[in-house]
Amino acid sequence: MIRLEKRPQPSRAWSLATPVVAVLATMVAGGMLFGILGKDPVEAIRTIFWEPLFGEFAFYYRPQLLVKGAPLVLIAIGLSLGFKAGIWNIGAEGQYIIGALVGAGIGLAFYPLEAWFVFPLMVIGGAFGGWLWAMIPAYLKTRFGTNEILVSLMLVYVAEQFLASMSLGLLRNPEGHGFPGSRNFNSYEGASSWINENAGMHWGVVAALIAVIFAYVLLNRHMVGYHIRLTGEAPRAARFAGVKPARLILFCLGTSGMLAGLAGLFEVSGPSGQVSIDFNVGYGFTAIIVAFLGRLHPVGILLAGGLMALTYIGGDIAQSNLQLPSAAIQVFQGMLLFFLLAFDLLTNFRISLGKPEVA
Amino acid sequence: MDLSAINPVLLIASLMVAATPLLFAAIGELVVEKSGVLNLGVEGMMIIGAVAGFATAVESGSPLLGFVAAAGAGAALSILFAILTQYAQANQVASGLSLTLFGLGLSALMGQSYVGIKPPQMQKLDIPLLSDLPVIGPILFGHDLMLYVALMLIAAVWAVIKFTRIGLVLRAVGENHDAAHALGYKVVRIRIIAILFGGACAGLGGAYISLIRVPQWTEGMTAGIGWIALALVVFASWKPWRVLLGAYLFGGVTVVQLNLQAAGVAIPVEYLAMSPYLITILVLVILSADKSSAPAALGRNFHAAR
Amino acid sequence: MTEVLLSLKGLTKAYPGVVANDSVSFDIGAGEVHALLGENGAGKSTLVKMIYGLVKPDSGEMLLRGAPFAPNEPRQARADGIAMVFQHFSLFDALNVAENIALGMENPPKMGDLASRIREVSEAYGLPLDPYRTVGDLSAGERQRVEIIRCLLQDPKLLIMDEPTSVLTPQEVEILFQTLQKLRAEGTSILYISHKLEEIRTLCDHATILRLGKNVGECIPAETSASEMAELMVGAALTPPMRGKRDLGEVAMDISGLSVPAPSAFGTALRNVHLTVRRGEILGIGGVAGNGQDELLSVLSGEVLTDSDAVKLGRAPIGHLGPVARRQLGVLAAPEERLGHAAAPDMSLTENAMLTGATREGLVKNGFLKWTAAKDFAERIIKDFDVRTPGPENAARSLSGGNLQKFVIGREVLQRPEVLVVNQPTWGVDASAAAAIRQSLLDLAAGGAAVICISQDLDELMEISDTFAALNEGRLSSPRPAEGLTVEEIGLMMGGAHGMEVAHV
């Protein structure tokens, strides 16, 4: 009979080991899934995890890691602050869209002006748009006690409709022959987020690294970060310590919205290039997996973002080389979160094989 | 714009159809939450039910068999949630989210070869005389079997919770799991059964979308209905009959906006399509002041200590 | 002794790192009130959980009327005539009395019939109850009645009562004892768990004393002095705390006309509370659980804000100031709930030292945290208050209740408070730690601080306080000098029998 015993304190070793164990377990289970789909499991796993880094065309794929990883890390860092405090923003996808729309809107308004201030204004607009969209659940929660999970999620669907309306209407390229979608930022130098497209470098990568450092300092060295952790661990103790819950909610949701908005802006003005009806590809949701996989720790999130970017790119390769369906990669990513949550129990519990206890 | 094209009788009848997926999902989640568990994976279980039901119905030619498969698939997915939260003591919010993300991916994978196919049709219950009545006939007696099943499910859950010992124990577990444990009730077992029931209901709701309401299979076709179902449980203050009221309200909003779209009202399509989500938020705001009827142990994990 | 009802033979139960029960044996006679006496952590709870089928012994056996008895679950124990009144955790606030009782029965009758049975039995035993009231609205004493009635409806042969008087006023204790005596007269055995010696001497026929999981002695309470039993229980003679002569200074804290609405559906509203406490004074606030203790502490600590004039420090109004600002002024607090309120369970002791020490100990500068200084502070608390732990990097939840409580009290005392408010400072703490904590409060007052000690342990309050007041349904009685107060007077201040009729037996 297997029994769980609560550890006197969380195990540090397991806390570091569980993500690795979860990734390995996902590889095994994912391989089995690919096997069922009629693909060679070893080949599929190798294609996903090895090919982008060390394969024949690695020179092309490696920069892609930065492109895919940056928005994931940027969003996940923001989410992790709230998750740590028990504030669940799961509508990052919506904030990402609105940030992109506001930022892109500013850029398009200046078209074709080439001036130094256009891009910075877009960045501010992107951050503001995401912040504003996140402030809706934040305000409703502090003012009326409305559940932020449901509100932030509902706003994703609203944002998607809004995006559709914008790319078909206001932001549509007037020279686009009636096709949906805005002008392409890649042909508008002063509003492009690329630094070096061949190296995969755009301002989003820089922002993601800054966010990691910022979050690390905040959580480990600053009172606000301490209050975030305290609120998540013991909300009553946090109030006793002098935390004002409403302020913390506004801060966490606002920051995560801002970072998601930035990620959207950098994406739309760089890798994606234009506002189109489906320019968003679900980074806002995948970032939830990244945040947990990184144990809500800034450095962990950086690594997890890289890993998740790898599965995106490797998934694309497997799709073209092995005809692996793209949905299989989505399942693979979902599995990862499952295994992580399941193995997480080893951090707080010890498994003992002993006599059954009457429960 | 031609509003006269909207037929009120058909409108009400289609409102009932639009509300049924919500009814299934919400009544299932209500039972889960009554036991003190918050499963945010409704959307994932619904979409798995939608695809499993669709595939089974297409392969077997029987929509009813499709619904059985959908219930099974929803319950099967909910087992993962049950393992995570009841045995592995994982955070319920995170586990529910992972269920949704996983379900969306898995359904897309399972449904690949079913895109663009028409499913076998579910027979309407044609009750002689009754369904021929003017106005009342098409509204009350002209529907498919599953719509009535959903209504009966509401009544059954209400009666079980209010009048039976099982219902009392369920409420007790959701209210205070430590006390229930001390009295010798199997908290984990009761919660797992509730989670499975919730999964099966969500599966039925999903299949109702893919087999009857739409009817076809497209990726991500539940489009947030699982989340609205979660909001509905809050709206209903955990009371079964108010789930019915809420579901018909949301069903009404959906149908009216679709009719307005079809009638070519001057409001852009996208803004009409937003309306169910905006109204969900509005209702949440109005009702969130009163949380007193929420099960006290909602969302808290139970681990039998010494 | 007459006929033996239940016989325990060599019961042993070990948990990782601790042997909760080590070969415990004793007999409970039929129609006997048997006391199980022991300190917190002596293994009383584990032992009764084994009898009630919640925990299975590692070894040893039980005989019920000579036949082997090994319940796998409470249901089985109940079927064999064993019933238990819990100290905590066994009622459902949102359900009504009848529903709560039905949940504790194997085959409850229909609700209507059950309700009339409840009326009948509750009146027969002098514990009147309305079956349709919501349990969350009942007082602590009434809640206990629900549990007792739940047991009585099943005609138990053995009734287990876990610390039943800790939630009662002296007058309510009187009623309870009459009920128990009536039960004994009818032939029911009672296993009575307590650490209160005087009540055991009044009520019990026989006593078994547990220490560190072992049976260390048995006695006839009526023929044994309280101090003899105490020595058996603790294992050493205890020195009562030193109480030096203190001069009371000027008024340190002044509360007038304080009213606060209930924080939650089943919380208590504070109604028109007045109190003053002087420098060097210990004000003891008694009262039964759930009469506004938590709420009063929150108002004093600054977690709940009020009109600025309702709470004054000296002459300065501070009612509008939050916890951080109050700490700056020297108003410190230690709440009752150690894990989750006074301390964060999974955080290290260093991080928990930061929790209240940040401002006064200068552990923060421009919003940035000085972890080295926090670690030093944590180490100082550990050393000065003899907290048993390998070091400040350990999580709060890894400490025993007594050690964590010493840490929590030490953390506040070492910050040199002007006013210290503590709630249940020694609840669930072993005797030596309790003595140390009380001593530190006395020393603090001797040093000129004002101390408000909220507690449900009347002995404790009589031991250390200069002035005594009691909370009853959110109202505070007017404070009186503690010296010379009789139990009768204290009981009346706590609300007497709460309007409940004394049993006519």
pLDDT value at position C188? 93
Least CB–CB distance from C56: residue in A234, A237, A357: A357
d(Cα B41, Cα C138) in Å, to the nearest integer?
A: 38
**B217-227 pLDDT tens trace:** 998 899 899 99
In this structure, the answer to whether residues C296 and C193 fall within a common structural domain is no
Q: Looking at A2-6, C140-144, C227-231, which range is the least confident one?
A: A2-6
Question: Over the stretch C424-472, which tens digit does the pLDDT of each residue have?
Answer: 999 878 888 888 999 999 999 999 999 999 998 888 898 899 999 999 8
Report the residue from A230, A240, A356 with minimal CB separation from C301: A240
* Residues B176/C93, Cβ–Cβ less than 8 Å: yes
Same domain, C216 and C258: no
- A206 has pLDDT over 70: yes
Instruction: Please report, for the domain that includes residue A224, its CATH number.
Output: 1.10.3470
Q: Which chains touch C (3 or more CB pairs under 8 A)?
A: A, B
Contact C91 B178 (CB under 8 A): no
Evaluate whether C418 touches C329 at the Cβ level (below 8 Å).
Answer: yes
| Residue ranges making up the domain that contains C343 | 251-350+418-493
B-C contacts at Cβ under 8 angstroms: 53
Closest-CA residue of C relative to B172 is: C92
CA dihedral over C470, C476, C481, C487, signed as positive or negative: negative
Please say whether the beta carbons of B201 and B73 come within 8 A: no
Q: What is the pLDDT of residue A158?
A: 96
pLDDT, tens digit, 9 for 90 and up, residues B6-28 = 677 888 888 899 999 999 999 99
- Two structure tokens written together for B45: 């279980």
Q: Using DSSP, state whether B189 is helix, strand or coil.
A: helix
> Cβ A6–B303 below 8 Å, yes or no?
yes
Instruction: Say how many domains are in chain A.
Output: 1
Q: What is the pLDDT of residues A61-81, one digit of tens each?
A: 999 999 999 999 999 999 999
B105: nearest CB among A4, A145, A331: A331
Taking an 8 Å cut-off on Cβ atoms, the answer to whether A334 and B101 are in contact is yes
Examine residue C389 and state whether it is found in any structural domain, yes or no: no
pLDDT band (50, 70, 90) for residue C422 = very high
End of a domain among C208, C234, C260?
C234
The residue with greater pLDDT, B247 or A190, is: B247
Q: In the structure, what pLDDT confidence band is assigned to residue C244 with cuts at 50, 70 and 90?
A: low
Contact flag A240-C303 (C-beta cutoff 8 Å) = yes
Question: Tell me: the pLDDT tens digits for C301-351?
Answer: 999 999 999 999 999 999 999 999 999 999 999 999 999 999 999 999 999
Could you tell me if C260 and C304 are in contact, meaning their C-beta atoms sit under 8 angstroms apart?
yes
Percent of the residues in chain C that have a pLDDT greater than 70, as a whole number: 95
Could you tell me if residue C412 is inside a domain?
Answer: no
pLDDT at A108 (0 to 100): 92
- Cα–Cα distance for residue pair C454/C31, rounded to 1 Å: 38
- Of the three residues C205, C234, C263, the one that is the final residue of a domain is C234
Which residue of chain A comes nearest to B182, CA vs CA?
A359
Closest chain B CA to residue C83? B183
Same domain, C203 and C302: no
Interface test with B, best of C103, C107, C137, C346 (most B CBs within 10 A): C103
Answer whether A101's CB lies under 8 Å from A129's CB.
yes
pLDDT band at A354 (very low <50, low <70, confident <90, very high): low
Identify the DSSP state of A219. H
Question: How far is C55 from chain B, CA to nearest CA, in Å?
Answer: 8
Count: domains in chain C: 2
Lowest mean pLDDT: which of A300-309, A321-330, B196-205, C162-171? C162-171
Comparing CB atoms, the residue among B165, B171, B183 nearest residue C104 is: B183
C148 and C49 in a common domain? yes
Percent of chain A with pLDDT over 70: 97
Residue at A338 is within a domain: no
- A145 reaches C (C-beta below 8 A): no
Domain assignment of residue A160, given as a range: 62-324
Interface mutation target, options A7, A9, A240, chain C, most CBs of C under 10 Å = A240
Q: Any idea which of B108-122, B253-267, C22-36 has the lowest mean pLDDT? A: B253-267
Task: Answer for the pair B110, A331: CB distance below 8 angstroms, yes or no.
Answer: no
Residue A69, amino acid: G
Residue C505 lies in a domain: no
Inter-residue contact C178 to C505 (CB < 8 Å)? yes
- Inspect the interface and report whether the beta carbons of A224 and C323 lie closer than 8 Å: no
Residue C377 included in any domain: no
Phi first, then psi, for residue C219 (nearest 5°) are -160, 165
Of B178, B183, B306, nearest to C103 by CB-CB distance is B183
Mean pLDDT (chain B, rounded): 88
Mean pLDDT of all residues in C228-238: 76
Strand partners, C469: C285
Q: What is the pLDDT of residue C2?
A: 66
The verdict on residue C104 lying in a domain is: yes
Residue in A10, A223, A357 nearest the CB of C364:
A223
Shared domain check, C277 and C156: no
pLDDT surpassing 70 at residue A359? no
Please check whether residues C267 and C132 belong to one and the same domain. no
Residues C83 and C207 in one domain: yes
Burial A166-192 (b: 16+ CB within 10 A, else e): bbbeebbbeeeeeebbbbbbbebebbb
**Residue pairs spanning A and C at CB distance below 8 A:** 85
Question: pLDDT tier at C24 (50, 70, 90 boundaries)?
Answer: very high
CB contact under 8 A, B296 and C93: yes
By CB atoms closer than 10 A (0-12, 13-18, 19+), residue A304 is buried
What is the spatial distance between Cα C107 and Cα C92, in angstroms, rounded to a whole number?
Answer: 19
Can you read off the two tokens belonging to residue C108?
A: 């409850």
- The predicted model scores a pTM of 0.89
Q: Is the pLDDT of residue C109 over 80?
A: yes
Of B103, B273, B284, the CB nearest to A147: B284
CA distance A144 to chain B (A): 6
pLDDT band at A1 (very low <50, low <70, confident <90, very high): low
B267-294 mean pLDDT:
83
User: Under an 8 A CB cutoff, do C344 and A234 touch?
Assistant: yes
Query: Inter-chain contact C368–A223, Cβ cutoff 8 Å?
Result: yes
A284-323 residues touching B, CB cutoff 8 A: 285, 288-289, 292
Which residues of chain C have a CB within 8 Å of the CB of B292?
A: 265
Torsion of CA A240, A244, A245, A247, to 10 degrees: -160
Predicted local distance difference test score (pLDDT) of residue C294: 92
**Is C283 inside any structural domain?**
yes
Given a cut of 70, whether residue C25 has pLDDT beyond it is yes
Phi first, then psi: what are they for B3, rounded to 5°? Answer: -75, -20
How many degrees, rounded to 5, is the angle at CA C406 between CA C405 and CA C411?
A: 100
Chain B residues with CB under 8 Å of C93 CB are 175-176, 296
Q: Which residue has the tokens 């700056």?
A: C328
pLDDT exceeds 90 at position A16: no
Query: What integer pLDDT is reported at residue C241 of this predicted model?
Result: 64
A36 inside 8 A of chain B by CB: no
The mean pLDDT of chain A is: 90
Measure A334 CA to nearest chain B CA, in Å.
Answer: 4
**Same domain (yes/no): C222, C148:** yes
* Residue C445, domain CATH: 3.40.50.300
* Chain C closest-CA separation from residue A348 CA (Å): 10
Q: What are chain B's domains?
A: 3-121+140-287 (1.10.3470.10)
Residue A282 lies in a domain: yes
Q: Are residues C126 and C26 in the same domain?
A: yes
Q: Are residues C283 and C327 in the same domain?
A: yes
pLDDT tens track for B78-109: 999 999 999 888 889 889 999 999 999 999 99
Q: Which of C167, C201, C234 is the last residue of a domain?
A: C234
> How close is the nearest chain C Cα to the Cα of A6, in Å?
10
pLDDT at C503: 40
Neighbours of B130 (CB within 10 A): 13
Task: State the pLDDT confidence band at A353, using cuts at 50, 70 and 90.
Answer: low
- C-beta atoms of C368 and A221 within 8 A: yes
Q: Do C291 and C181 belong together in one domain?
A: no
Mean pLDDT of A334-344: 89
Residue A11 lies in a domain: no
C410 touches chain A (CB under 8 A): no
Closest to C103 (Cα-Cα) out of C95, B108, A201, B80: C95
Give this complex's ipTM. Answer: 0.88
- Measure the CA–CA gap between A230 and A264, rounded to whole angstroms: 30
In angstroms, what separates the C-alpha of C403 from chain A's closest C-alpha? 14
Q: What span, in angstroms and rounded, lies between the C-alpha atoms of A331 and A342?
A: 16
Query: How open is the CA angle C193-C195-C197, to the nearest 5 degrees?
Result: 110
For residue C396, is it within any domain?
A: no
Any domain includes C317: yes
**Chain C residues with CB-CB distance to B175 below 8 A:** 92-95
Judged against a pLDDT cut of 60, whether residue C499 lies above it is answered with no
Q: Give the closest-approach CA distance of C332 to chain A in angstroms.
A: 10
Q: Count H helices, E strands: chain B?
A: 12, 0
- Per-residue DSSP letter, C343: B
Provide the pLDDT for residue C195. 78
Cβ-based contacts of C302 with chain A (< 8 Å)? 242
Q: Which residues contact B13 (CB under 8 A, 6 or more apart)?
A: B138, B139, B142, B143
Q: Cβ of A2 under 8 Å from any chain B Cβ?
A: no
Which stretches does DSSP call E strand in C173-230?
Answer: 189-194, 206-211, 214-219
